[in-house]
Chain A
Amino acid sequence: MENPENIIVVKNLVKRYGDFTANDNLCFEVRKGEIFGFLGANGAGKTTAIRILCGLSYPTSGKINVAGFDAYTQRELIKRNIGYMSQKFSLYDDLTIAENIRFYAGIYGLSQKVIKSRTNQLLHRLGMEEIRNRLIRDVPLGWKQKLAFSVAIFHNPAVVFLDEPTGGVDPVTRRQFWEMINEAAEEGITVFVTTHYMDEAEYCDRVSIMVDGKIAALDTPQNLKKSYKTSDMNGVFLTLARGE
């Protein structure tokens, strides 16, 4: 990597499915410890790009480096060094809280000793010690989302990818979730996050907005609002995504 401060480097990323270009020459960098918002309309190509960055699918062309690893030749190393959480699927309903933690930590190869001590610390911090043996399906959504995030960063990944992590939760939980994101960023974990809540874009250090497979804008929320002469990120998003 040219600049050690960059944890994700994407140069001319192209992904084609037949004659459809899902990612059209994307170029961006994400800095270490940054909260990076990855926004775009449905179908703009966000999921395609995230799958490539997570080592789950091959790019058609371009240079992509995540946490120091190459997206063509070191995909398994990428997977080991990132965390991932999505709204749709994160924890197993028919496992308990403690079992879910042990399962994910085991997948990432942590030792039994480390898993045990970190699990206790984590449950203490989340205030979930009492319910550690409760099945996930019986845990309220807000708690589940907070737990899912903690599990995603349990192995201290260099980057965590969050795909619409706050869908459907109440405004208090949503804010508590973002406080956890801030906390993780302060500890040096880079956060790469997508959301449909435009007010959440304001919590990001920098935001990129994808339109039709391209990155239409990338800057701090303040600068974007200034450039598009609007008071909030919703205005920026609507202007760009509608192509007005």
Chain B
Amino acid sequence: MPEIAVNNLFKSYGPINALRDISFQVDKAEIFGIIGPDGAGKTSLFRILVSLLLPDKGSVQLAGFDVVKDYAEIRKIVGYMPGRFSLYQDLSVEENLSFFATVFGSSIEANYDLIKDIYVQIEPFKKRLAGRLSGGMKQKLALCCALIHRPQVLVLDEPTTGVDAVSRVEFWDLLHKIKKEGITIIVSTPYMDEAARCDRVALMQNGEFLGISLPGDIHKAFTKTLYELTPGQGAYKLLKALRAEAWCKNAWLFGQSVHLTVNDSASETQFLSYAQREKIEFRKITAGIEDTFMELMKTS
């Protein structure tokens, strides 16, 4: 039995369809990532998963419990870290943690081993008010508070948003440690590069999954030939020049290079002679997650 089973989930707010027919399953101790921009529907989905929001249609089971019918059970087995920092800003680090432990009828001591690796990093500041912590520290405290009752399922809504690149790497290292404890993790992020740290990922846009795959297989959804052009300098000028050509299908900036697809094989010939004439270096590349996401966004 999967640890999380979501079947044909729908949710709308007036005319806005936040979730349109979402179905997926997550295994025990899996890290399942949902990657998509703001407004994709990630938060609505997570709020339904933790029983804070009712779906319009469809069902969700966590560890066999139904999120609507068995909501009281769900709340015992779920650890939830909302997207907005929602700890008590006017309580200290230690007070927040002990508050959350007590609410769940547990204590810091009982589950200290689970949070130890994270907590030692914020322990020097345990007397500091939560509202006065830095961004990365707040995220670590929020993770501790979500874990302190040893949940079976950990639901993390954009835990790395606004967090710098170093703290993001550390945060993901922590998630992998938690996974080893047998805890199932479902996590959302707008950072596409974090896909690589998940066991499986779903790409999400406008209330729909564009696809679910292993991180290493995402590029398979990108079926066209992709060229990387490296002009050395003036990538933006090259971008504009390419878009003016009839054979150019899509051209996007990727740092100092341009990623290009062309319309058909005749276009390919035209592009090759263009590149030769303009002396532009290029090579065929495997699509990255952003290439794939942009491609799927267009065709969906």
Contacts and interface: CB of A to CB of B under 8 A. Distances in A.
A172 to B, nearest CB: 5
A47 to B, nearest CB: 11
B190 A175 contact: no
A196 B165 contact: yes
B36 interface: yes
A109 interface: no
A141 interface: yes
A127 interface: no
Interface centre among A172, A232, A237, A238 (most CB of B within 10 A): A172
B239 interface: yes
A242 B166 CA distance: 7
Given A168-B37, A202-B255, A197 B297 contact: no
A182 B234 CA distance: 10
Contact of B38 (A169, A182, A199): A169
A213 interface: no
Contact of A197 (B158, B169, B191): B191
B104 interface: no
B105 interface: no
B237 to A, nearest CB: 9
Contacts of B168: 196
Contacts of B253: 175, 178-179, 203
Nearest to B250: A172
Contacts of B158: 168
A157 interface: no
A202 B165 contact: no
A142 B297 CA distance: 14
A156 interface: no
Nearest to B37: A170
B135 A42 contact: yes
Contact of B39 (A140, A202, A222, A232): A140
Interface in A173-190: 173, 175, 178-179, 182, 186
Contact of A167 (B36, B39, B162, B252): B162
A42 B161 CA distance: 12
A221 interface: yes
A238 B37 contact: no
A169 B254 CA distance: 16
Interface string B164-194: 1111110000000000000000000011110
B282 interface: no
A14 B193 CA distance: 35
A1 B68 CA distance: 67
A171 B191 contact: no
B265 interface: no
B73 interface: no
B166 A237 contact: yes
Contacts of B37: 141-142, 168-171, 173
Contacts of A237: 165-166
Interface in A127-141: 140-141
Contact of A170 (B136, B193, B293): B293
B123 interface: no
Nearest to B235: A203
Interface string B283-300: 000000010011001000
Given A43-B134, A178-B253, A182-B236, A171 B294 contact: yes
22 contacts: A42-B135, A42-B163, A42-B167, A43-B135, A167-B162, A168-B38, A168-B161, A169-B38, A170-B297, A171-B294, A172-B252, A175-B252, A178-B253, A196-B164, A198-B165, A202-B256, A221-B255, A233-B255, A234-B165, A237-B165, A241-B164, A241-B166
The 9 closest A-B pairs by CB, nearest first: A202-B255, A170-B37, A168-B38, A182-B236, A41-B164, A42-B135, A171-B290, A43-B134, A241-B166
